[in-house]
Amino acid sequence: MSVNPDLAGRSYPATSPYLVGREKVREFARAVLSADPTSHDVEAARAAGFDDVVAPPTFAVVVQEHALAQLLADDDAGIDFSRVVHGDQRFSFTRPIVAGDELTATLTVVSVKTLAGNSMVTADTVVTDPSGAHVVTATSTLVVRGEA
């Protein structure tokens, strides 16, 4: 199996809505060693101007994951998951994710590059709220190691 060189530009359907739970945010915050009061304490989050606890920046990966799963499951994309290494990751926010948000993710493959026998697949996952407003774009580069 090798990565389809014509993958760039391909988009996948929007994922079904992900409801951000307060306890999920707290659980994730503990897991990334966060001591940020706005991620744990509803009163601290409200004092900072939010309706509920604020997710740590990298929580967006949980929503992105549902979109990436579509790409990895697409046989025509030709990505062998057992050969995938996470190369780069970026999150660009319009606003933070807050408990109570209902988020959908839409993934588009930006580029496929080949370097030294490996393929580098870069994908943008655009995360939006129910009104369609942008929340965050998560960009991942997956390095698919070549079969030597």
Partner 1 sequence: MSPRFGELTVGDVVAEATLDLSRDSLVRYAGASGDFNPIHYRDDVAASVGLPGVLAHGMLTMGAAVQPVVEWAGGAAHVVDYQVRFTRPVVVDPATGARLEVSAKVGALDAEKATARIDLTVRYDEATVLGKAQVVVSLESDAS
The residue within the footprint of partner 1, chosen from 3, 20, 55, 112 (CB under 8 A), is 55
Cβ contacts of 16 within 8 Å, gap of 6 or more: 66, 104
| Three-state DSSP class for residue 56 | coil
Concatenating the DSSP letter of every residue in 2-33 gives ---TT-TT-B-PPPPPEE--HHHHHHHHHHTT
Place of tokens 């996470």: 86
Residue 6 CB, nearest approach to partner 1 (Å): 26
The residue within the footprint of partner 1, chosen from 8, 11, 21, 37 (CB under 8 A), is 37
Which residues 61-80 are close enough to bind partner 1 by CB under 8 A? 61-62, 65
The residue within the footprint of partner 1, chosen from 6, 43, 51, 88 (CB under 8 A), is 88
Catalog residues that contact partner 1 under the rule CB under 8 A.
24, 27-28, 30-39, 48-50, 54-58, 61-62, 65, 82, 85-93, 95-96, 139
